């Protein structure tokens, strides 16, 4: 994912958390916020808490989420900031169910956000 597609500053995360909307599934929580200034593509911030596993497991989940998000950029509304939070147990579920299963979970949370 390119830098222009990432949230990196804590104030951007805070804006999404405080002023945005949210939806959740068993393993993911998605917050989104409509930006004032228009940008060509949506921006994503990831949060994988320590309860989700050790550093290796958390970084692996982040890499997988970024890759799946990048593959869906064309279908995601531009002009929005998103924060995707992984809940505890996600890394184990991905290990047992596979990478495609994680893509289905992202599609599920995006559909709930669009409704």
Q: Which CATH number fits the domain that encloses residue 101?
A: 3.30.230.10
Give the chain's domain count.
Answer: 1
What span, in angstroms and rounded, lies between the C-alpha atoms of 9 and 5?
13
State the pLDDT confidence band at 65, using cuts at 50, 70 and 90. very high
Provide the whole-model pTM. Answer: 0.89
Q: State which residues form the domain around 80.
A: 3-114
Per the CB < 8 A criterion, the answer to whether 16 and 33 are in contact is yes
pLDDT score, position 88 = 93
CA nearest to 82, candidates 21, 2, 11, 10: 21
For 6-34, the pLDDT digits (tens) are 888 899 899 999 999 999 999 999 999 98
Which tokens belong to 93? Answer: 């579920």
- Strands 28-34 and 80-86 turn out to be antiparallel
Q: Give percent of the chain with pLDDT exceeding 70.
A: 97
CA nearest to 17, candidates 83, 79, 65, 80: 83
Q: Flag whether pLDDT at 40 surpasses 80.
A: no
For 91-109, the pLDDT digits (tens) are 999 999 999 999 999 999 9
Q: Flag whether pLDDT at 38 surpasses 70.
A: no
Q: Could you tell me where the DSSP H helices lie in the chain?
A: 10-19, 55-71, 90-97, 99-114
């Amino acid at each position: 994912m390119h830098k222009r597609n990432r949230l990196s500053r804590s104030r951007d995360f805070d804006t999404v958390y405080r002023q945005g909307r949210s939806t959740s599934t068993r393993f993911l929580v998605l917050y989104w916020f409509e930006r004032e200034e228009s940008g060509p593509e949506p921006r994503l911030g990831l949060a994988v808490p320590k309860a989700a596993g050790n550093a290796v497991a958390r970084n692996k989940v982040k890499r997988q989420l970024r890759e799946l998000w990048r593959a869906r950029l064309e279908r995601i509304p531009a002009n929005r900031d998103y924060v995707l939070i992984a809940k505890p147990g996600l890394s184990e579920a991905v290990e047992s169910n596979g990478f495609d299963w994680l893509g289905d979970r992202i599609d599920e949370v995006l559909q709930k956000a669009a409704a």
